[in-house]
Amino acid sequence: MQNFNFFLRQLKRRCTASQLARERLLSLNLETGRNTLRAALTQYGLTTPEAHPTYVLEDREKLYQIDRVKQRSYSELLRRSKLSLTDVNRLVRGHDPRPNKALTVPDHFPC
């Protein structure tokens, strides 16, 4: 029974370490996506839009809003860069055509 408990503790420790590593890599991937979008906006003389609330409470109900500042900023990026809507959408979402990109260790991150 002791061996089994030891095995379970080791397994839990390995799973926790693996989960933490995946979370760090995903976080780095998301940060890279934000930096890419910021660089594209800056390249065309635009500023990164500030975060705005997605909804307001009115009579205890959520009323969802469109972020007009982001909408104008991304529309202007489309006009100035002449990128396709699909390409701008990929920039905004931080998409990368590589499979399993969240599991890739970046070059600047020591193993």
7-40 confidence digits (pLDDT tens): 888 888 888 888 888 888 888 877 888 888 899 9
Domain count, the chain: 1
Name the band, by pLDDT with cuts 50, 70 and 90, for residue 60: confident
pLDDT at 5: 87
Cα–Cα distances (Å) from 52 to 8, 18, 19, 34, in that order, read 45, 34, 31, 16
Burial class of residue 73 in the structure, from the number of CB atoms within 10 Å of its CB (0-12 exposed, 13-18 middle, 19+ buried): middle
Answer whether residue 56 shows pLDDT above 90. Answer: no
Asked if the structure places residue 38 within a domain, the reply is yes
CA separation for the pair 28, 102 (Å, rounded):
8
Asked if the structure places residue 86 within a domain, the reply is yes
**The pTM of the whole model exceeds 0.85:** no
Asked if the structure places residue 60 within a domain, the reply is yes
Asked if the structure places residue 110 within a domain, the reply is no
**Which residues span the domain enclosing 57?**
2-94
Asked if the structure places residue 43 within a domain, the reply is yes
pLDDT at 50: 84
